[in-house]
């Protein structure tokens, strides 16, 4: 907690957190009032006042989610969430980031996604990382440097994907302990999450897991292999018993929308202990990708409505990576809010955009953010006036093709070096079909 500013000392924050523990429903609004005395930043004050308002609304699902956090998580987890995520990652860090964006005239993200390894113990159908070499990895020292450089830029939120990141669990636990002022999150297939690992995460408090699940057993094992569903539930059970933080991630595609977009399934995941959920849609990456798994426009529109409906009544925090773009001003990639560093070290705009100019092994993080491809992103965002069409690949494929060619970026998929025109051609029809639906959504939710 070395980056707490605005006159809030570590001791004062610890006292405030301890005060909340005794009676969160009554004391959280009081703590907010006390913190507001020290905080002048308008954005930070707005977030705190929103939290106070939520706690006074008995039927507000986010109030009930906060209460779940006090019932179902270790006290250390709650303290780290407030100090590392709420204060460092969401208040003081972004202030520094905004100043540096102006100074360096480039995007600087809120979060960094990186792949500790490209190796994986599963072979999931249509995996977005399926075209990476399976022998690549980021050594501990390199990940430590990325985090150190990130913190200098005001970045305090680090996310892991892969491959299967828990294959590097020893290094990841060490990084979370060394950088105890940051918040960490790992997307996992869940098959390697045992009691020991879950208990270690609970002790750290600043490291959460996101379990990938595609629906019930039939839908999950369809893409991830027989027996995977049972192992995911077992991993969730270990995390729940340890009172460690976790949520779910799900990829909705043409064959599982009915399962993923059902209230019963969401209630089931809440019952397993999930505190948050992250929805993605299938992307046809790689020359052997199956375009028939792409959702049609009706299915994607259903998910846009459904996630908003569930957010209004369920005690869980839900995100839809594409359909929630209006809340964040469009595409967040290219360092605008996040970037991706693959296991080979290539600094990509997004986990779904496998092109780059820079590699972190011979470049600083700041140099990569100033690369030609990232500058193209900064100059063109948002990619569409209708923010329900945010993506430069899925919704505006001509934009991605132009940016890759102008910037001279190269494919980071060593198994096929997919040509950008071939990739974008797979999304052209879906983009055209989606436009009328996106226009209706903009009218409804504007």
Q: Residue by residue, what is the 3-state secondary structure of the chain?
A: CCCCCCCCCHHHHHHHHHHHHHCHHHHHHHHHHHHHCCCCCHHHHHHHHHHHHHHCCCCCHHHHHHHHHHHHCCHHHHHHHHHHHHHHHHHHHHHHHHHHHHHHCCCCCCEEEECCECCCCCCCCCCCCCCCCCCCECCHHHHHHHHHHHHHCCCCEEEECCCCHHHHHHHHHHHHHHCCCCEEEEEECCCCCCHHHHHHHHHHCCEEEEEECCCCHHHHHHHHCCCHHHHHHHHHHHHHHHCCCEEEEEEECCCCHHHHCCHHHHHHHHHHCCCEEEEEECCCCCCCCCHHHCCCHHHHHHHHHHHHHHHCCCCCEEEECCCCHHHHCCCCCCCCCEEEECCCCEEECECCECEECCEHHHCCHHHHHCCHHHHHHHHHCCCCCCCCCCCCCCCCHHHHHHHHHHHCCEECCCCCCCCHHHHHHHHHHHHHHHHHHHHHHHHHHC
Residues 328-340: what's their mean pLDDT? 98
Range from 207-211, 328-332, 412-416, 439-443 carrying the lowest mean pLDDT: 412-416
Q: Does pLDDT of 6 surpass 50?
A: no
pLDDT given at position 7? 44
Mean pLDDT of the chain: 90
Q: Does pLDDT of 3 surpass 50?
A: no
Overall pTM surpassing 0.85 (yes/no):
yes
Q: Does pLDDT of 446 surpass 90?
A: no
Range from 1-5, 155-159, 309-313 carrying the lowest mean pLDDT: 1-5
pLDDT one-digit tens code per residue, 68-122: 999 999 999 998 998 899 889 998 899 999 999 999 999 999 999 999 998 887 7
Contact 315, 65 (CB under 8 A): yes
pLDDT given at position 55? 82
Q: Does pLDDT of 126 surpass 90?
A: no
Contact 263, 310 (CB under 8 A): yes
In angstroms, rounded to a whole number, what is the distance separating the alpha carbons of residues 139 and 364? 16
In angstroms, rounded to a whole number, what is the distance separating the alpha carbons of residues 395 and 326? 14
Residues 157-164: what's their mean pLDDT? 94
pLDDT given at position 12? 61
Q: Does pLDDT of 11 surpass 70?
A: no
In angstroms, rounded to a whole number, what is the distance separating the alpha carbons of residues 379 and 377? 6
Domains of the chain, residue spans: 10-93, 94-445
List all residues 6 or more positions away from 191 whose beta carbon is below 8 Å from its beta carbon: 121, 122, 164, 228, 231, 232, 235
Q: Does pLDDT of 223 surpass 80?
A: no
More confident residue, 397 or 42: 397
Structure tokens of 122?
């599963």
Range from 276-290, 368-382, 393-407 carrying the lowest mean pLDDT: 276-290
Q: Which CATH class is domain 94-445?
A: alpha beta
Closest CA relative to residue 341, chosen from 81, 134, 137? 137
Residues 196-211: what's their mean pLDDT? 98
């Amino acid at each position: 907690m070395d980056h707490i500013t605005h006159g809030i000392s570590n001791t004062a924050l610890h006292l405030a957190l301890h005060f909340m523990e005794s009676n969160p429903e009554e004391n959280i609004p009081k703590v907010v009032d006390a913190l507001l005395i020290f905080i002048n930043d308008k954005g930070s004050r707005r977030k705190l006042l929103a939290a106070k308002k939520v706690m006074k609304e008995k039927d507000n699902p986010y109030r009930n989610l906060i209460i779940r956090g006090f019932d179902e998580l270790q006290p250390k987890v709650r303290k780290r969430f407030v100090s590392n995520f709420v204060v460092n990652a969401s208040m003081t860090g972004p202030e520094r980031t905004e100043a540096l964006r102006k100074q360096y005239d480039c995007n600087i993200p809120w979060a960094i996604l990186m792949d500790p390894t490209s190796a994986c113990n599963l072979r999931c159908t249509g995996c977005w990382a399926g075209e990476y070499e399976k022998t690549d990895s980021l050594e501990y020292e390199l990940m430590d440097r990325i985090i150190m450089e990130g913190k200098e830029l005001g970045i305090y939120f680090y996310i892991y994907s892969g491959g299967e990141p828990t294959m590097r669990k020893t290094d990841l636990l060490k990084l979370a302990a060394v950088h105890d002022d940051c918040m960490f999150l790992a997307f996992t297939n869940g098959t390697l999450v045992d009691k020991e690992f879950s208990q270690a995460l609970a002790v750290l408090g600043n490291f959460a897991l996101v379990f990938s699940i595609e629906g019930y057993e039939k839908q999950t094992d369809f893409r991830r292999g027989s027996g995977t569903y049972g192992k995911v539930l077992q991993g969730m059970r270990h995390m729940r018993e340890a009172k460690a933080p976790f949520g779910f991630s799900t990829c909705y595609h043409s064959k599982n929308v009915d399962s993923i977009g059902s209230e019963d399934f969401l209630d089931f995941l809440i019952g397993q202990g999930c505190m948050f959920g992250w929805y993605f849609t299938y992307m046809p990456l790689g020359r052997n990708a199956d375009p028939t798994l792409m959702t049609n426009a009706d299915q994607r529109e259903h998910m846009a409505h459904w996630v908003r409906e569930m957010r209004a009544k369920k005690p869980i925090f839900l995100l839809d990576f594409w359909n929630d773009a209006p809340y964040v001003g469009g595409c967040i990639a290219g360092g605008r809010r996040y970037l991706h560093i693959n296991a080979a070290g290539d600094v990509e705009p997004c986990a779904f955009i496998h092109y780059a100019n820079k590699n972190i092994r011979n470049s600083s993080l700041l140099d990569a953010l100033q690369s030609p491809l990232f500058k193209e992103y900064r100059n063109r965002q948002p990619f569409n006036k209708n923010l329900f069409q945010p993506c430069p690949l899925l919704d505006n494929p001509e934009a991605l093709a132009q940016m890759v060619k102008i910037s001279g970026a190269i494919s980071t998929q060593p198994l096929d070096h997919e040509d950008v025109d071939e990739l974008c051609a797979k999304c052209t029809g879906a983009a055209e079909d989606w436009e009328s639906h996106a226009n209706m959504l903009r009218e409804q939710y504007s």
